[in-house]
C-alpha cells in the first residue's frame, strides 16, 4: 500500500508561479484516511475594547443586541480552541457537532498523528481580534516563570488583516529603557514613553514571544495564532474601566516578573505578495502562501496536522470528499487539516493563505 507521508513545500519560482513538490513514501499496512478538513463554529467573546467589525469585514452574524439595548462589543472570535472553559465544535461533515476534544480523544492518530496521546490538548488557539480601542499593556509569562505564577506561557503571532489609517502596535521596550525607569513610569502613569510603538498596515505581522510587553492599538483587525494559553498579566490599562464600569484588575507584580528587560524594539514582518515564513518559533511556524487564480496548494496526508487560514480571497478544496459549498473557504475561515487527510486547495480568485504547522 502507499500512504502519503510528507509534503515538502519547497517554493520555486518558474514564470512567476510557485510550484510545490511532494514526496511520497511506501508504507506497510492499511491506509489511514480522514478526508474531511475540520471547520468549527465561532465562539464570540465580549470585550470592552471590541466592536462589530467582524460583521462588515468577514461577513459574520454576531450576537444580536439585547432588547432595547446597544449591540455588544465583540472583541474576539475564538476559531479553534481546545480548553476546559471553551471548546470548538465541528460544523458540517461527518463529525458535525463533535467538540475538538472529543474528536481527538476518539481519533487522535487520524487528527494529530500516530504518536499523539488522546488526552493531550490541541496545542494552538486561533482567534480573530476586533480592536476598536487600544488593548491593555500586558505580558504573558515565559515558561521559566509561568509555574511559579501559576500561569501558562503564550507565544502568539499577529497578522494584520485590516487596519485604519495611522494604526499602530506596541511590542517590546524602547531601546535602553530599564526596569527601574519602567517601574517609575507605572507610578507616574507615563508607561507609553517606555514601550516600542510602531505603525502597521494591512498584511504586516509580528511574532510576540512570552515575556514581551505588548498592546494592540485601536483600529486593527487581527488574526491571532497562538500557543494554547489564556494567561495575561495587565500592567496598565490607560485609565479605562471595564464593562461593569469599574477599573479592570491589574497584575503589576506578575508583569514585572514576566517582562524580558533586554527586549528592545522588535521589528515586524512587513507585507509582501510572495511566499515566506512569517513566524518561526519553538511552538509553531506560519507560512504565507499567495495563490493566483487557478493555482493550487496541495497538502499530502501523513506528514503532520496543519491549520489553514484564508486571509484574502476564496479557495476550493478539490481532492477530499468535501463537495459543493462546503468545499469553499472564504476570507476569515480557519480550518484544521488532519494528519490523515490529503487535500488540494485551488484559488477561485487571487488569494492569500496562512499555513500553521510544526506544532506537534
Q: Tell me what pLDDT residue 240 has.
A: 87
Picking from 231, 234, 255, the residue whose alpha carbon sits closest to that of residue 179 is: 255
Cell reading at 96? 458535525
Does the annotation mark 5 as catalytic?
Answer: no
pLDDT bin (cut points 50, 70, 90) of residue 3 is very low
User: pLDDT, tens digit, for every residue of 81-107?
Assistant: 999 999 999 999 999 999 999 999 999
Is-contact 336 29, C-beta < 8 A? no
Catalytic residue among 132, 234, 287, 306: 234
Strand partners, 4: none
User: pLDDT, tens digit, for every residue of 216-244?
Assistant: 999 999 999 999 998 999 999 988 888 88
Average pLDDT rounded to a whole number, residues 16-28: 33
* Topology (CATH) of 40-258: Jelly Rolls (2.60.120)
Query: In CATH, what is the architecture of 2-38+275-357?
Result: Sandwich (2.60)
Place of cell 503571532: 157
For residue 17, pLDDT over 80 is answered with no
User: pLDDT, tens digit, for every residue of 124-162?
Assistant: 999 999 999 999 999 999 999 999 999 999 999 999 999
pLDDT bin (cut points 50, 70, 90) of residue 246 is confident
Q: Which residues touch 97 (CB under 8 Å, ≥6 apart)?
A: 89, 90
Ranges in the chain annotated CATH 2.60.120.10? 2-38+275-357, 40-258
Picking from 175, 177, 169, the residue whose alpha carbon sits closest to that of residue 198 is: 169
DSSP string, 193-220: GTEEEEE--TT-EEEE-TT--EEE-TTE
Amino acid at each position: 500500500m502507499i500512504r502519503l507521508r510528507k509534503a515538502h513545500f519547497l517554493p520555486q519560482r518558474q514564470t512567476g508561479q510557485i510550484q510545490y513538490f511532494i514526496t511520497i513514501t511506501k508504507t506497510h499496512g492499511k491506509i489511514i484516511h480522514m478526508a474531511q478538513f475540520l471547520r468549527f463554529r465561532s465562539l464570540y467573546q465580549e470585550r470592552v475594547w471590541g466592536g462589530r467589525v467582524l460583521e462588515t469585514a468577514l461577513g459574520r452574524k454576531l450576537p444580536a443586541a439585547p432588547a432595547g439595548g446597544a449591540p455588544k462589543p465583540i472583541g474576539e472570535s475564538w476559531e479553534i480552541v481546545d480548553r476546559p472553559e471553551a471548546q470548538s465544535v465541528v460544523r458540517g461533515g461527518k463529525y458535525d457537532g463533535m467538540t475538538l476534544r472529543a474528536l481527538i480523544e476518539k481519533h487522535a492518530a487520524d487528527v494529530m498523528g500516530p504518536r499523539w496521546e488522546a488526552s493531550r490538548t490541541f496545542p494552538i488557539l486561533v482567534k480573530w481580534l476586533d480592536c476598536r480601542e487600544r488593548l491593555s499593556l500586558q505580558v504573558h509569562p515565559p515558561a521559566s516563570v509561568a509555574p511559579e505564577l501559576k500561569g501558562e506561557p503564550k507565544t502568539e503571532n499577529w497578522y494584520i488583516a485590516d487596519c485604519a489609517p495611522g494604526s499602530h502596535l506596541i511590542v517590546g521596550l524602547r531601546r535602553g529603557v530599564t526596569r527601574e525607569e519602567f517601574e517609575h513610569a507605572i507610578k507616574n502613569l507615563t508607561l507609553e514613553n517606555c514601550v516600542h510603538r510602531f505603525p502597521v498596515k494591512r498584511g504586516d505581522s509580528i511574532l510576540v514571544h512570552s515575556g514581551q510587553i505588548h498592546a494592540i492599538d485601536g483600529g486593527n483587525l487581527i488574526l491571532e495564532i497562538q500557543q494554547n494559553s489564556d494567561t495575561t498579566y495587565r500592567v496598565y490599562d490607560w485609565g479605562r474601566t471595564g464593562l461593569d464600569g469599574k477599573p479592570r484588575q491589574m497584575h503589576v507584580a506578575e508583569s514585572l516578573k514576566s517582562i524580558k528587560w533586554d527586549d528592545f524594539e522588535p521589528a515586524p514582518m512587513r507585507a509582501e505578495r510572495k511566499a515566506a515564513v512569517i513566524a518561526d518559533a519553538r511552538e509553531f511556524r506560519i507560512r504565507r502562501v499567495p495563490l493566483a487564480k487557478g493555482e493550487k496548494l496541495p497538502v499530502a496526508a501523513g506528514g503532520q496536522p496543519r491549520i489553514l487560514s484564508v486571509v484574502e480571497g476564496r479557495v476550493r478544496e478539490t481532492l477530499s470528499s468535501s463537495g459543493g459549498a462546503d468545499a469553499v473557504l472564504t476570507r476569515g475561515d480557519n480550518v484544521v487539516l488532519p494528519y490523515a487527510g490529503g487535500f488540494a486547495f485551488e484559488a477561485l480568485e487571487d488569494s492569500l493563505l496562512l499555513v500553521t504547522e510544526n506544532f506537534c
